[in-house]
Amino acid sequence: MAEQEPMEPAEQPSSLPPKPGGLLKAAREARGLSLDELVVQTKLPRSMIDAIEGDNFALLSEPVYVRGYYRKYARVVGADEAMVIAAYEAHAGGELPKLEIPVLLQDEPMRERRRWPLILLILLLMLGVIGLAWWLLASDAETSTSPTSSQAVPRVSEPAISRQPAVTPPAGESTDAEPEAPTAGARSSSSAGGPRRLALETRIASTPQPVEPAAAAEPEAEPEPEPEPPLVLRFREASWVRVEDGSGRRVLNGLVQGGELREIDEQGPYAVFLGYAPGVEVRYQGEPVDVSAYVRGNNTARFTVE
């Protein structure tokens, strides 16, 4: 009779780790921190803290945000971040998706777009300096060629008037001939008037004429500012963002750090999701958009801009 092989005992399913909310709450109480103090240090809303400690995963938004919430909470209370994340993944159902930021592909064109205004400003400054130098050189050249009142005026000496001897007509000749005295007097007066007119004309010619100032260089026309894109997102704090254009194509999807700017040129209307709406300023067609009516309890917001 063949011996029967002993059956191996069935593997017992490993017990699940404690829930992440209980781990964090115990660490908080060990530190002696109240919920209000934790809200101040983590900068998370009270509703989010309650959902984390109560393991209410349905109120914790998308998994990619939840991981950051757990890490921030664990860092403040001194808990093991890896253990808390592992507990969340075990109870929430599966590994969290890896964070992908395809929006980084758009950084290079945006950098090029921001560089153009600086290049135009440098070119305008160079043109202004060249125009000012040309105007100064032209003014100096005109000033050096203009006549001055200190130039010597030529003196014109009056010509000597020749005196003719008196002629006595011989006896017997007729005295009806016209005397020569009036002719000499007329010639003398005309000769005397000539130098006076010449001196007057010389003084008039030597008087410096006013020099017209050089025409001021016309200011360079300032370039017209580039039109603002239809949709502009300014991030005061870090937030996840997803934007779809009018055709449903996703044009922006990823985590953007605080202090950055994203401009959307595609055709609207735009479907927008913000992971942390209080930290994002939205402008459409140059006007601010109030999204406070769309903000949920976990600070996310979904809305359409058109």
Each residue of 157-199: pLDDT tens digit?
454 444 444 444 444 444 444 444 444 443 444 444 444 554 4
- pLDDT of 197 reads 53
pTM for the model: 0.32
CATH code of 34's domain: 1.10.260.40
| Structural domains counted in the chain | 3
Structure-token match 């020749």, residue found: 162
Least confident of 2-16, 108-122, 207-221, 231-245: 2-16
Residue 239 lies in a domain: yes
Least confident of 193-202, 243-252, 256-265, 283-292: 193-202
Residues 295 and 244 in one domain: yes
Residue 237 lies in a domain: yes
Structure-block tokens of residue 149: 């009142």
Mean pLDDT of 118-126: 93
Residue 198 lies in a domain: no
- pLDDT of 196 reads 54
Residue 177 lies in a domain: no
Residues of the domain holding 283: 231-305
Q: Return contacts of 125-134, CB within 8 angstroms, 24+ apart.
A: 127/220, 128/220, 131/217, 131/220, 132/217, 134/217
Domain end call among 33, 59, 92: 92
Q: Which residues pair with 305 in a beta bridge?
A: 270
